[in-house]
Chains A and B, each alone.
Chain A
Amino acid sequence: MELKRVVKNENIYTLVEKIKEGDREAFMTVTRLYQKKVFLLAFSYFRNKEDALDIVQETFLRFYQKADMFHKGRNFQSWLLQIARNICIDYYRKNYSRESTFNREKNIDEMNLPATDSNESHCSLDLKEPFSSCLERLSERQRMIFVMKHYNQLKYREIAQILNIALGTVKSLHFKAVQNLRALMSPYLGRQT
């Protein structure tokens, strides 16, 4: 699952400079390198393929518009994921806030996807939906930090950069997120906390 960091910082700076000048090839290279990371973040957050694809597209559109604001010395991945994260939050507030997560309509194909996977373990089948609903019950920040840590496998330091908060706060919020998830999942795990 972990996506290798293909591009060194020096190269990404060169690519962004070219994008600022309107270089389409450079833009496509950056999109190819980072689209999966953005998708992973968005999909882990929404668990909806179409929404996640919309987020990816919007993120790169906004990246192109804001390319002038990216300066050497900044971590590109953190900066891009910061854009993606902001779009996720806006998108969630706009499309999900008034909607019960349990009543949300899901694409039928997506719902069937796990069932068609023959490699999926019994345990995974049991925990997948409960875990998913428990994750959605976390607060916005805790959910985002958990997703970034678990699925995007970002370091606390990177999460702190993306969310623009202190390292200690990230550590503390991640701890609380895991504790809350354990409490919410305890009925499904067959034990009490």
Chain B
Amino acid sequence: MKECKKYQKNLVAFLYGELQGDEKKRLESHLDTCSLCRSELDRLKEVKNGADSLNPEIENVMASIDWEALQEKISEAVFEEGTSMIRQSWLRSFLQSIFQPKLRPVYAGLFLGILIGAAVFFMIFRTPHLQVVKNGEIIVPQSFLEWAELEMARRNTIDYLERSQYLLLDFVQSSPEKSAGFWQSDYASQKARDLLSKKKYINQQLDKFHMAKAKAICDQIELLFFELTQISEQISMAELKRIQDLIVERQILLKIRIVKKELEKSEV
């Protein structure tokens, strides 16, 4: 009985001609002696006969078809669309070959790489930075140098304006009698000379970064200091008073304060 079960598993394959060699011979000799398995085979043959019962219908349907016409119809359907179909086929094959499932991990890795690369570039170029390399050498990008230079120009100008403001304030507030001696004192003359030399230094920076408004007021201050330090000995008290009035009239101190504030807010 157990042996029959083993053979019965092969009965369908045997019935459909898929059993060969020794396996087939063993089953055939078993069927010769086993009525149970023969009966099982007969039942399976009934299924096969049932399936064969559709054959006449299939044959009739197939006989009713005009195969030549079908062949023409298919061919026309394919070649009528001609070029577009070939192109579509080429495009589809190309896309399929590019986006085939086994390449998905590669594309995922590539995408991740691009994402990380973009993030790194963003971090690097977001703000100017210093890159320290071995032996204590520092490599500085050009953008950082420009940024540093602008910052220095801004700070130098603010410093110049602040110091000029205090000095001019002292001058404006001093009485006409004292003002002549004011510019001959070591304190004022030294400061004015310092400011004149500083002005020469910041001139380049003001030109380079097109700080026009700051440059205009700085030029006016420079001219004032130049006159006051060089010719104060020869000019009269009335002339000094006129210069004091001019400073007040032209609101030079106010202008200095405004430009300074603008520079402090980096608005120049």
Identify the A interface with B (CB < 8 A). Answer: 1, 22, 24, 27-28, 31-32, 35-36, 39-40, 43-44, 47, 49, 52-53, 56-57, 60-61, 64-69, 110, 113-114, 117, 119-120, 123-128, 130-132, 134-135, 146, 149-151, 155-156, 171, 174-175, 178-179, 181-182, 185, 188-189, 191, 193
Contact = CB atoms under 8 A, between A and B. Distances in A.
Contact of B58 (A44, A125, A191): A44
A113 B59 CA distance: 10
Chain A CB count within 10 A is highest, among B58, B78, B88, for B78
B53 A128 contact: yes
Give chain B's interface secondary structure class.
helix
B70 A53 contact: yes
B51 A56 contact: no
Nearest to B83: A22
Given A32-B67, A49-B61, A68-B90, 20 more contacts: A1-B59, A28-B72, A36-B67, A43-B58, A47-B57, A57-B77, A60-B74, A60-B78, A61-B78, A65-B88, A113-B57, A114-B56, A120-B56, A123-B53, A127-B50, A128-B54, A135-B51, A156-B13, A174-B16, A185-B47
A171 B18 CA distance: 9
B174 interface: no
B62 interface: yes
Contact of B13 (A24, A66, A174): A174
B63 to A, nearest CB: 10
Contact of B48 (A135, A150, A171, A193): A150
B54 A61 contact: no
B58 A40 contact: yes
Contact of B53 (A69, A131, A178): A131
B43 A182 contact: yes
Contact of B65 (A39, A135, A149): A39
A178 B51 CA distance: 10
B55 interface: yes
Nearest to B86: A22
A185 B89 contact: no
B8 to A, nearest CB: 9
B114 interface: no
B74 A35 contact: yes
Contacts of A182: 43-44, 46-47
A182 B77 CA distance: 42
B57 A67 contact: no
Contacts of A181: 47, 50-51
A137 to B, nearest CB: 13
A110 B44 CA distance: 29
A131 B50 contact: yes
Nearest to A28: B75
Contact of B62 (A24, A36, A174, A189): A36
B78 A64 contact: yes
A156 B18 contact: yes
Contacts of A156: 13, 18
B54 A65 contact: no
Contacts of B92: 65
A175 B50 contact: no
A174 B59 contact: no
A67 B85 CA distance: 12
Contacts of B65: 39, 49, 53
Contacts of B5: none
B85 A132 contact: no
Contacts of A174: 12-13, 16
B46 A189 contact: yes
Contacts of A40: 58, 62
A186 B16 CA distance: 20
A126 B89 CA distance: 48
A53 B65 CA distance: 9
A35 B70 contact: yes
B183 to A, nearest CB: 95
Contacts of A117: 56-57, 60
B79 interface: yes
A178 B44 CA distance: 7
Contacts of B55: 1, 124
